[in-house]
């Protein structure tokens, strides 16, 4: 696959994305909490967390580290795209990715605090007044839209730059569709599903050069 003269080989960026995705998936499945069958009641959720402190702590750390890595990779990509719309869209993608990282960092800090308090919450658990677990709607949806928006903009940037003329639009379209479907229909969008879309982008970049 040929690339414009204004860019260098983008294979290292694809490889970096792939490694980040693998690390993220390790974090996603390191916590017993996220393995089926998923806990449904607050008590079951607290018990799953309390019984797997290492895995719970690992995902709380790995997730924001992965999101920060994505921001760094997107920023580096932006500097390798030609000026004009491709570069500006890539810069906006990087800024949105950075916002997604900060929003998820708040969620991770909350999860670390919950892990430290899980045993005590179980000991004082009152079934008549159950406490909600993992409720972060004030930051979860802003994170989700920032992350998917970042991927959509980066896909469009790569398409306009001629780097991934078809696949870039596919990534952009999938990200936009995911935001609409997750927000309006499903009312949920697990982060690992965003990384499946990002995997498509990583594979495409690894073929550029």
Residue 29: name the closest of 65, 67, 62 by CA.
62
In the chain, which stretches have pLDDT less than 50?
A: 1-7
Cβ(77)–Cβ(89) under 8 Å? no
For residue range 80-116, list pLDDT tens digits in order: 999 899 999 999 999 999 999 999 999 999 999 999 9
pTM of the model: 0.89
Q: What's the confidence (pLDDT) of residue 125?
A: 87
Q: What's the confidence (pLDDT) of residue 167?
A: 96
The CA-based angle 100-157-15, given to 5 degrees, is 70
Q: What's the confidence (pLDDT) of residue 6?
A: 44
Q: What's the confidence (pLDDT) of residue 85?
A: 94
3-state secondary structure the chain: CCCCCCCCCCHHHHHHHHHHHHHHHHHHHHCHHHCCCCCCCHHHHHHHHHCCHHHHHHHHHHHHHHHHHHHHHHHHHHHCCCCCHHHHHHHHHHHHHHHHHHHHHHHHHHHHHHHHHHHHHHHCCCCCCCCCCCCCHHHHHHHHHHHHHHHHHHHHHHHHCCCCCCHHHHHHHHHHHHHHHHHHHHCCCCHHHHHHHHHHHHHHHHCCC
Q: What's the confidence (pLDDT) of residue 3?
A: 47
| 151/146 Cα distance (integer angstroms) | 9
Q: What's the confidence (pLDDT) of residue 208?
A: 81
Q: What's the confidence (pLDDT) of residue 66?
A: 95
Q: What's the confidence (pLDDT) of residue 135?
A: 64
Q: What's the confidence (pLDDT) of residue 198?
A: 95
Cβ(111)–Cβ(136) under 8 Å? no
Q: What's the confidence (pLDDT) of residue 2?
A: 43
Q: What's the confidence (pLDDT) of residue 94?
A: 98
């Amino acid at each position: 696959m040929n690339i414009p003269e204004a860019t260098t080989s983008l294979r290292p960026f694809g490889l970096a994305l792939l490694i980040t995705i693998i690390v993220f998936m390790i974090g996603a499945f390191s916590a017993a909490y996220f393995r089926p069958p998923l806990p449904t009641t607050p008590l079951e959720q607290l018990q799953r967390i309390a019984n797997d402190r290492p895995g719970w702590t690992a995902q709380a750390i790995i997730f924001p580290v992965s999101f920060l890595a994505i921001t760094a990779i997107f920023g580096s990509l932006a500097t390798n795209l030609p000026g004009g719309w491709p570069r500006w869209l890539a810069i906006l993608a990087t800024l949105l990715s950075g916002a997604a990282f900060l929003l998820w960092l708040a969620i991770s800090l909350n999860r670390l605090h919950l892990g430290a308090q899980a045993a005590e919450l179980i000991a004082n658990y009152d079934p008549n007044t159950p406490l909600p677990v993992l409720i972060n709607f004030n930051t979860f949806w802003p994170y989700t839209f920032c992350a998917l928006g970042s991927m959509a903009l980066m896909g469009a940037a790569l398409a306009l730059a001629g780097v991934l003329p078809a696949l870039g639009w596919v990534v952009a379209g999938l990200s936009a569709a995911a935001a609409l479907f997750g927000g309006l229909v499903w009312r949920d969008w697990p982060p690992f599903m965003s990384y499946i879309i990002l995997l498509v982008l990583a594979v495409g970049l690894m073929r550029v050069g």
